[in-house]
Amino acid sequence: MNILLICSAGMSTSLLVTKMNKVAEEKGVKANIWAVSTDAVDRNLEKADVVLIGPQIRFQLEDIRAKAAKFKIPVDVIDSVDYGMCNGAKVLLKALKLKKAASN
């Protein structure tokens, strides 16, 4: 599963990516997780199965959803508490649920 995280600069999500990768490995979930800035969305979107965006760019949700719709990729906003706490387990679970819901 390819999980793309998007934030304003691409740096604030790097710690979250690390934590999500650790949880995925512990749970035996095969996942490729990476983060990019909003400037790199177009170059990375079609590689993703799920897109989660940082709460600080929630105002761009509909624009990113419109771009992702071409590829039938679900997009949602990361919960601000989970984002702030770098809760890799909860954010990974959100990505898995989002992908499952999109598949149904």
Q: What is the DSSP string of 70-99?
A: TTT--EEEPPHHHHHTT-HHHHHHHHHHHH
Angle CA 39–16–60, to nearest 5: 35
Query: Which residues belong to the active site?
Result: 7
